[in-house]
Protein backbone atom coordinates (compact mmCIF):
# COMPACT_ATOMS: atom_id res chain seq x y z
CA UNK A 1 0.00 0.00 0.00
CA UNK A 2 1.10 3.51 -0.72
CA UNK A 3 2.23 5.51 2.34
CA UNK A 4 1.32 8.70 0.52
CA UNK A 5 -1.88 8.99 -1.48
CA UNK A 6 -2.00 11.74 -4.04
CA UNK A 7 -5.17 12.85 -5.82
CA UNK A 8 -6.29 13.27 -8.45
CA UNK A 9 -4.00 11.19 -10.66
CA UNK A 10 -4.65 13.52 -13.56
CA UNK A 11 -6.30 16.86 -13.98
CA UNK A 12 -7.36 18.82 -17.06
CA UNK A 13 -8.08 22.45 -16.34
CA UNK A 14 -9.03 25.36 -18.54
CA UNK A 15 -6.52 28.19 -18.53
CA UNK A 16 -7.41 30.79 -15.93
CA UNK A 17 -9.19 28.36 -13.63
CA UNK A 18 -8.11 27.40 -10.11
CA UNK A 19 -7.20 23.88 -9.08
CA UNK A 20 -6.20 21.86 -6.02
CA UNK A 21 -4.06 18.75 -5.64
CA UNK A 22 -4.13 16.73 -2.42
CA UNK A 23 -1.60 14.57 -0.64
CA UNK A 24 -2.64 12.37 2.29
CA UNK A 25 -0.64 10.22 4.68
CA UNK A 26 -1.71 7.66 7.24
CA UNK A 27 1.25 8.68 9.41
CA UNK A 28 2.42 11.98 10.82
CA UNK A 29 4.74 13.82 8.48
CA UNK A 30 7.98 15.39 9.64
CA UNK A 31 8.31 17.29 6.41
CA UNK A 32 6.24 17.59 3.26
CA UNK A 33 7.76 18.62 -0.05
CA UNK A 34 6.10 19.63 -3.29
CA UNK A 35 7.89 19.20 -6.60
CA UNK A 36 7.03 19.85 -10.21
CA UNK A 37 8.35 17.81 -13.11
CA UNK A 38 8.25 18.53 -16.80
CA UNK A 39 7.97 15.38 -18.90
CA UNK A 40 11.27 13.50 -19.06
CA UNK A 41 13.10 15.91 -16.80
CA UNK A 42 14.18 16.13 -13.19
CA UNK A 43 12.20 17.43 -10.24
CA UNK A 44 11.97 21.13 -9.51
CA UNK A 45 11.52 22.03 -5.86
CA UNK A 46 8.44 24.13 -5.14
CA UNK A 47 7.89 24.27 -1.38
CA UNK A 48 8.67 22.60 1.91
CA UNK A 49 6.24 22.48 4.85
CA UNK A 50 7.17 21.31 8.31
CA UNK A 51 4.83 22.80 10.88
CA UNK A 52 1.19 21.91 11.45
CA UNK A 53 -1.04 24.56 9.93
CA UNK A 54 1.80 25.99 7.86
CA UNK A 55 1.02 27.70 4.58
CA UNK A 56 3.44 28.95 1.95
CA UNK A 57 2.92 30.76 -1.32
CA UNK A 58 5.06 31.43 -4.33
CA UNK A 59 3.62 33.40 -7.21
CA UNK A 60 0.26 31.71 -7.90
CA UNK A 61 0.95 28.49 -6.02
CA UNK A 62 -0.04 27.97 -2.38
CA UNK A 63 0.70 24.89 -0.30
CA UNK A 64 -0.78 24.05 3.09
CA UNK A 65 -0.10 21.41 5.73
CA UNK A 66 -2.95 20.55 8.08
CA UNK A 67 -2.70 20.82 11.86
CA UNK A 68 -2.34 17.07 12.29
CA UNK A 69 0.48 17.03 9.73
CA UNK A 70 -1.08 14.23 7.72
CA UNK A 71 -2.54 16.07 4.77
CA UNK A 72 -1.28 18.72 2.40
CA UNK A 73 -2.86 20.56 -0.49
CA UNK A 74 -1.37 22.47 -3.39
CA UNK A 75 -3.55 25.17 -4.87
CA UNK A 76 -2.92 27.00 -8.13
CA UNK A 77 -4.79 30.21 -8.80
CA UNK A 78 -5.59 31.41 -12.32
CA UNK A 79 -3.73 28.55 -14.01
CA UNK A 80 -1.44 29.19 -16.99
CA UNK A 81 0.09 26.90 -19.62
CA UNK A 82 3.40 27.13 -17.75
CA UNK A 83 1.80 25.30 -14.82
CA UNK A 84 1.37 22.13 -16.86
CA UNK A 85 3.43 19.14 -15.73
CA UNK A 86 3.53 16.45 -13.09
CA UNK A 87 3.19 17.50 -9.47
CA UNK A 88 4.67 15.23 -6.82
CA UNK A 89 4.41 15.33 -3.06
CA UNK A 90 7.21 13.81 -1.03
CA UNK A 91 7.21 13.14 2.69
CA UNK A 92 9.80 12.61 5.35
CA UNK A 93 8.60 10.34 8.15
CA UNK A 94 11.43 11.01 10.59
CA UNK A 95 14.38 9.48 8.79
CA UNK A 96 16.49 10.73 5.93
CA UNK A 97 14.42 9.07 3.22
CA UNK A 98 11.85 10.86 1.10
CA UNK A 99 8.73 8.87 0.16
CA UNK A 100 6.68 10.02 -2.82
CA UNK A 101 3.09 9.95 -3.92
CA UNK A 102 2.31 8.67 -7.40
CA UNK A 103 2.00 12.15 -8.86
CA UNK A 104 -0.68 14.29 -10.50
CA UNK A 105 -0.46 15.04 -14.20
CA UNK A 106 -1.79 18.54 -14.84
CA UNK A 107 -2.86 19.60 -18.32
CA UNK A 108 -3.90 23.19 -19.04
CA UNK A 109 -6.19 23.71 -22.03
CA UNK A 110 -6.89 27.05 -23.74
Partner 1 sequence: DVKVTQSSRYLVKRTGEKVFLECVQDMDHENMFWYRQDPGLGLRLIYFSYDVKMKEKGDIPEGYSVSREKKERFSLILESASTNQTSMYLCATSHNYGYTFGSGTRLTVV
User: Which residues of this protein are in contact with partner 1, per CB under 8 A?
Assistant: 2, 6, 33, 35, 40-43, 45, 48, 88, 90, 96-103
Least distance from partner 1 to the Cβ atom of residue 40, Å: 7
Q: Which is nearer to partner 1, 96 or 110 (CB)?
A: 96
| Residues 14, 108: Cα–Cα separation, whole Å | 6
Question: Do 71 and 23 contact (CB within 8 A), yes or no?
Answer: yes
CA distance 62 to 40: 25
Q: Do 52 and 66 meet the contact criterion of CB atoms below 8 Å apart?
A: yes
Phi-psi region for residue 69, left (φ > 0), alpha (ψ -120 to 50) or beta?
A: left
Nearer to partner 1, 35 or 84 (CB): 35
49 versus 84: smaller Cβ distance to partner 1: 49
Q: CB of 4: closest distance to partner 1 in angstroms?
A: 8
State the nearest-atom distance from the C-beta of 41 to partner 1, in Å.
6
As measured in angstroms, the least distance from the Cβ of 58 to partner 1 is 13
Of the two residues 29 and 35, which places its CB atom closer to partner 1 in the complex? 35
Q: Which helix (H) or strand (E) holds 85?
A: strand 85-92
Amino acid sequence: SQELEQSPQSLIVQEGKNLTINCTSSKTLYGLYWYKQKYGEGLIFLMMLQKGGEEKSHEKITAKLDEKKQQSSLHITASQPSHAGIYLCGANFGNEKLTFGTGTRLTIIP
